[in-house]
């Protein structure tokens, strides 16, 4: 039905992912209201939301493409670009900010040559993103390495962890 979505991340499983996405939409009875839930499923399956995937979702749920795009770009959680193999999420919530998250973010970005506008390294190995609060304020400053939350680390510790990813 649609061409295999071009994915920079995983080479395998294109067809399977599409089937799983369709199953997710079926579970929601293809309701237009379920757009956010479906986008979540798609993001989980593909790692990001490509134009083809968005178009497919729009067609399946009978939602106009501009609306799908508008919704996908409204929320921080959805990414229209592939993320790196590893993601370092620096929490910039108040508690973490007060405990020096700003410096951690700056150091980590410098280490990988990234910035506010560029969040993924050219070789696709690592991304650095900012979270507005992951709710781990008790162990501020909080940094998430992929799925793992770590607290109370200084800039050096965070940087050396991230260095290990790109070596």
Partner 1 sequence: MTVKTLLLDGKPVSAGEGQSLLDLCRENGVKLPTLCHLDGLSDVGACRLCLVEVKGSNKLLPACTTQAQEGMDVSTTSDRLRRYRRQIVELLFAERNHVCAVCVANGNCELQAVALEVGMDHVRFEYQCPQTELDASHPRFVLDHARCILCTRCVRVCDEIEAAHTWDVANRGAASRVITDMAVPWGKADSCTTCGKCIRVCPTGALFEKERAAVGTSKNRNFLVYIKNAREKGQWSR
Partner 2 sequence: MSPTDSLEEIAQRRNAARAERKCRVSVCSGLGCESVGAGAVLEKVRARMRLQGLAEESEVHLTGCRGLCQRGPIVEVEWGPAEAKERRLYLDVDEACADQLALEMATSGAPPASLRDHGGEPFFTRQTKIVLANAGVIDPEDIESCIAAGAYSALEKAVTEKKPAEVVQMITESGLRGRGGAGYPTGLKWSTVAKAAGTRKYVVCNGDEGDPGAFMDRSVLEGDPHEVLEGMAIAAYAVGAEQGFIYVRAEYPLAIKRLRAAIKQAERLNLLGAHIFDTGFNFRVDVRTGAGAFVCGEETALIASIEGGRGTPRPRPPYPAVSGLWGQPTLINNVETLANVAAIVRNGPAWFAGIGTEKSKGTKVFALAGKIQNTGLIEVPMGMTLREIIFDIGGGIPGGKRFKAAQTGGPSGGCIPAQFLDLPVDYESLQQVGTIMGSGGLIVMDESSCMVDVAKFFIEFCREESCGKCIPCRAGTVQIHDILVRITHGLGNFEDLEKLEDLADLLRNTSLCGLGQTAPNPVVSTIRYFRDEYLAHVNEHRCPAGVCAMAGSTAAREPSRAHSVA
**Which positions touch partner 1 (CB under 8 A)?**
51, 54-55, 64-70, 73-74
Nearer to partner 1, 64 or 154 (CB): 64
Task: Name 5's Cβ contacts closer than 8 Å, sequence gap at least 6.
Answer: 14, 18, 46, 50, 52, 53, 56
Summarize as ranges the residues that interact with partner 2 (CB under 8 A). 31-37, 39-40, 63, 67, 70-71, 74-78, 92-99, 116, 131-140, 142, 147-152
Both tokens of residue 146? 């992929």
Smallest gap from Cβ 138 to partner 1, in A, equals 29
Residue with tokens 């592939």: 82
* Strand pairing category for 126-131 and 148-151: unpaired
- Tracing tokens 């973490």 back to the chain, one arrives at 96
The smaller minimum CB distance to partner 1, of residues 68 and 92, is found at 68
| Residue (72 or 88) nearer to partner 1, CB | 72
Q: Which does 126 bind (CB under 5 to 8 A by kind): partner 2, partner 1, none?
A: none
Minimum gap (Å) between residue 125 Cβ and partner 1: 27
Of 30 and 122, nearer to partner 2 (C-beta) is 30
Indicate which of partner 2, partner 1, none lies near residue 51 (CB less than 5 to 8 Å, by partner kind).
Answer: partner 1
CA-CA distances (angstroms) from residue 37 to 40, 70, 157? 5, 15, 36
Rounded Cα–Cα distance for residues 113 and 159 (Å): 12
Strands 86-91 and 126-131: parallel
For the record, the structure tokens of 82 come out as: 């592939």
Smallest separation (angstroms) from partner 1 to the CB of 67: 5
């Amino acid at each position: 039905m649609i061409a295999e979505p071009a994915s920079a991340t995983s080479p395998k499983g294109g067809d399977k992912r599409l089937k799983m996405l369709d199953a997710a939409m079926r579970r929601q009875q293809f309701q237009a209201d379920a757009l956010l839930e479906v986008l979540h499923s798609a993001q989980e399956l593909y790692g990001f939301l490509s134009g083809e995937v968005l178009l497919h979702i729009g067609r399946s749920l009978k939602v106009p493409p501009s609306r799908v795009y508008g919704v996908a770009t409204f929320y921080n959680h959805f990414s229209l670009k592939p993320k790196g193999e590893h993601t370092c999420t620096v929490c910039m919530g108040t508690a973490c900010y007060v405990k020096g998250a700003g410096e951690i973010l700056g150091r980590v970005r410098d280490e990988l040559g990234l910035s506010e506008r560029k969040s993924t390294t050219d070789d696709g190995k690592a991304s650095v993103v900012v979270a507005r609060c992951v709710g781990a304020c008790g162990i501020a400053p909080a940094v998430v390495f992929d799925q793992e939350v770590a607290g109370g680390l200084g800039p050096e510790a965070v940087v050396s962890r991230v260095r290990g990813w790109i070596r």
